[in-house]
Structure 1
């Protein structure tokens, strides 16, 4: 396994784990603060924008590079 492949795989795995962990944190924060249905949707929507941005960056870098 080359260093480049290892770096790419570990980045994808670690970022996926980080996104899942952030989702858990947002869920717990919404539950503890009694944000309600709308507040929880807004919180997860904001987190979702960051995830979509990361995915778009990955796709664009694959297409260009």
Structure 2
């Protein structure tokens, strides 16, 4: 069984981005904990990260639909 370059690139991108998002979540959590941001500050930090991830996913979906 031979795997094409496209399959490897797609899987690598999905796994890599998932790992990056999880790592960024850990960084934001650690930043909130170390700075004693409180509940509201932590929600704002994770909300900002979530909006960035949502924007990236939305861009990917729109690119697939429009092209």
Global fold match (TM > 0.5): yes
Separation of aligned partners in 1, 2:53 and 2:26: 14
Question: Which residue, out of 16, 41, 49, partners 1:14?
Answer: 16
Q: How big is the alpha-carbon RMSD for the aligned residues of Structure 1 and Structure 2?
A: 0.9
Q: Deviations over 1:7-65 (max 9, x none)?
A: 11100110010000000010011001000011000100110011001111221122223
Q: Which has the larger radius of gyration?
A: 2
Q: Which runs of 5+ in 2 are unaligned?
A: none
Structure-1 residue corresponding to 2:47: 45
* Regions of 4+ moved over 2 Å: none
TM-score for the superposition, normalised by structure 1: 0.91
Q: Which runs of 5+ in 1 are unaligned?
A: none
